[in-house]
Amino acid sequence: MAPRKKSSAPAAAGSSVSMADLARELGVSMTTISRALSDHHSIGPAMKQKVLKLAKKYNYQPNRLASALRKGKSQLLGIIVPYIEGRFFPSVVHGMETAARRAGYNVIICQSNEDVAQEQHNLDALLSAQVAGILVSLSRTTLDLQHFEKVRSRGLPLVLFDRVLDDADINAVVLNDYEGGYLSTRHLIEQGCRRIAHLAGPQHLTIYKNRRQGYLSALREAGLPPDDALILDTDMTQDQGAAAMRQLLALPEPPDAVFAAGDYCALGAMLEAQRQGRRVPQDVAVAGFSNEGFTVISQPNLTSVDQRCEEMGQAAVRLLLEVLQADGAAFGARQVVLRPELIVRDSSLHATKAGKAARKPRAAAS
């Protein structure tokens, strides 16, 4: 028995049933249908059941567009990331989508491609789509937050994550990069290393600045004097990691450990050291940052700092939803700082005879 039977307007292809259709069929008003479906209090249980049954029968799907238009708020969250590749951002997005779905939201994803202009366009598109809130990890070329004023003036919650700017007055979820740098360096010190080099990232980016601060703190705490010759600026690529290691090994007094602010950079350094006949970790210990998938595959496996990607995504959405619920109350912007986890692997086991700290990579894709 096909659904389309006595309905005056048959469910032709391309169209789906609306509340009006259900109302007509049951001989009641649209209002009643709406109440029954949205579980309103002033609705008879008998009526409610009838409506729900019919809705199921006709396979009624609410039109969220109409609902959102009427209510002025959609069930969509906008996400802007520099790009969806590598290990970090996909994992964060994974966490976000999961948290959002649980709360009944869907996510629109945009890539800025590290371009402020693109970021602005994305922002406009999201506002235009009437999203309920926006999550952003800033592009590298974003130097101020003025284009996000639109968001505030619309009264929409905004949460930055990972890539932020120093602005106390904005909601943000970040990793404690300082602590990551500190933990990593302290670990190297505990391994008996005394001349610890640092391959730093672009210092105008907060994350790299903080990792470096952590490094310096650990040195200071251990009474080790920082040596400018051991702190090299790189762009975090594998190539520059190798180049930096070449430079370090050419020093009259080369380092006995290297803490790189990124895994690819660390890998480049490690391979270069091996190419020059040094043993890792015995001659020079190496630690990276980000806990990339390949850290359990390189020889030796690479010690690194896990960034809690997924937790970051979930935390960001949670924060956003809280602000959304508070709806204007509780103004003060909140900052959530996640604690990094140092994952010790063979590349840094300088003192002991390379213990084992194996970790399986995640399951096969596709």
What residues make contact with DNA under the rule CB under 7 A?
15, 18-20, 27-32, 34-35, 37-38, 41-47, 62-63, 66-67, 69-72
Partner from a second copy, DNA, none contacting 71, C-beta within 5 to 8 A by type = DNA
- In whole angstroms, the minimum distance from the beta carbon of 328 to a second copy comes to 9
Partner from a second copy, DNA, none contacting 163, C-beta within 5 to 8 A by type = a second copy
Residues 27-56, one symbol each (x = binds a second copy by CB under 8 A, - = not), give ------------------------------
* Residue 207 in contact with a second copy, rule: CB under 8 A: yes
Nearest residue (CB) to DNA, 30 versus 224: 30
- The sign of the CA dihedral 30, 35, 36, 37 is positive
**What is the size of the binding site for a second copy (CB under 8 A)?**
74
Nearest residue (CB) to a second copy, 17 versus 319: 17
Partner from DNA, a second copy, none contacting 348, C-beta within 5 to 8 A by type = none
- In whole angstroms, the minimum distance from the beta carbon of 177 to DNA comes to 42
* 181-218 b/e (C-beta count within 10 Å ≥ 16 → b): bbbbbbbbbebebebbbbbbbeeebbbbbbbbebbbbb
Q: Are 131 and 77 in contact (CB under 8 A)?
A: yes
- In whole angstroms, the minimum distance from the beta carbon of 264 to DNA comes to 45
Question: Which member of 7, 26, 90, 222 binds a second copy (CB under 8 A)?
Answer: 90
Partner from a second copy, DNA, none contacting 103, C-beta within 5 to 8 A by type = none
**Contact positions with a second copy (CB under 8 A) in 57-76:** 59, 61-66, 68-69, 74-76
Give Cβ neighbours of residue 31 (< 8 Å, ≥ 6 apart). Answer: none
Partner from a second copy, DNA, none contacting 165, C-beta within 5 to 8 A by type = none
Asked, as a colleague might, if the bond just before 361 is cis with ω within 30 of 0, I would say no
- In whole angstroms, the minimum distance from the beta carbon of 16 to DNA comes to 7
**Contact positions with a second copy (CB under 8 A) in 290-319:** 290, 292-294, 297-299, 307
* Residue 192 in contact with a second copy, rule: CB under 8 A: no
Q: How far apart are CA 90 and CA 293, in angstroms?
A: 13
Place of tokens 């020889």: 299
Partner from DNA, a second copy, none contacting 245, C-beta within 5 to 8 A by type = none
* Residue 359 in contact with a second copy, rule: CB under 8 A: no
Q: How far apart are CA 289 and CA 205, in angstroms?
A: 15
Nearest residue (CB) to DNA, 29 versus 282: 29
Q: Which two structure tokens, joined as six digits, stand for 171?
A: 């909601």
Q: Are 262 and 236 in contact (CB under 8 A)?
A: yes
Q: Which two structure tokens, joined as six digits, stand for 30?
A: 């649209």
- Dihedral angle of Cα 178, 179, 180, 185, to the nearest 10 degrees: 90
* Residue 362 in contact with a second copy, rule: CB under 8 A: yes
Partner from DNA, a second copy, none contacting 364, C-beta within 5 to 8 A by type = a second copy
Q: Bridge partners of 232?
A: 199
Question: Which member of 20, 84, 143, 251 binds a second copy (CB under 8 A)?
Answer: 84
